[in-house]
Structure formats: C-alpha cells, structure tokens
C-alpha cells in the first residue's frame, strides 16, 4: 500500500510540473485559468495522499482551505480575464 501511495505522489508531482509549465507558457489566458484550477486540485490530492501516508486526519482542514482558496483564485482570475478588473467600483457619486 505504501508503494502505491508513493507512486501516486510521484505521478501527481509530475503533473504539477506540467501544469506549472502550462500556467506560465499557456498560449491563451483560458489555458492559464484551467491550469490554475488543476493545480489547486493536484495540491489537494497531494495533501490527501500525505494524510493517508502519515495516517492522520489533521490535514483535512488544510484540504478544505486549499479548496476554498483555489475556488476564489480561479473565479478572480477568470473575472480579470473577462473584464480586465477584479473589483468594479461605481464612481458615479
């Protein structure tokens, strides 16, 4: 079982490297948003595998925090690509 977990960690780490490449070199901004979201999922997977490896449930809160931050980051990046601004202000007053 331990070899399977370590093998999974290696595979997810290699996919993270490929995703970071796509995040930096993505030909389109939409590719970068998808890569950012996939990096968040891969990080959640790595923390979950590490939690199984050390046999503790302490890291489950970290998984929830990573999921929330990944979601907010993806939404902010998508809004920035779509509108060019993350926070829109009404200056008509």
Cα torsion angle, 70, 73, 77, 82, sign:
positive
Mean pLDDT of 4-15: 93
Per-residue model confidence (pLDDT) at position 20: 92
64 lies in some domain: yes
79 lies in some domain: yes
43 lies in some domain: yes
Residue 84 pLDDT > 90, yes or no? no
Q: 40: Cβ–Cβ under 8 A, 6 or more apart, which residues? A: 66, 67, 69, 70, 71, 73, 74
90 lies in some domain: no
The token pair at 56 is: 């503790």
Cα 55 from Cα 59, distance rounded (Å): 10
Range of the domain at 44: 2-83
72 lies in some domain: yes
66 lies in some domain: yes
pTM: 0.78
42 lies in some domain: yes
49 lies in some domain: yes
The token pair at 71 is: 């979601």
Inter-residue contact 46 to 37 (CB < 8 Å) = no
Count of domains forming the chain: 1
Residue 81 pLDDT > 90, yes or no? no
Inter-residue contact 9 to 50 (CB < 8 Å) = yes
Cα torsion angle, 93, 76, 67, 61, sign:
negative
Per-residue model confidence (pLDDT) at position 85: 66
């Amino acid at each position: 079982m331990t070899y399977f977990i370590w093998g999974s960690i290696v595979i997810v780490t290699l996919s993270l490297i490929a995703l970071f490449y796509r995040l930096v070199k993505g030909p389109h901004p939409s590719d970068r948003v998808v890569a950012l979201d996939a990096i968040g999922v891969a990080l959640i997977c790595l923390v979950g595998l590490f939690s199984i490896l050390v046999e503790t449930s302490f890291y489950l809160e970290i998984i929830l925090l990573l999921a929330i931050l990944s979601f907010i980051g993806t939404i902010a990046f998508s809004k920035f690509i779509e509108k060019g601004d993350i926070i829109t202000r009404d200056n008509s007053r």
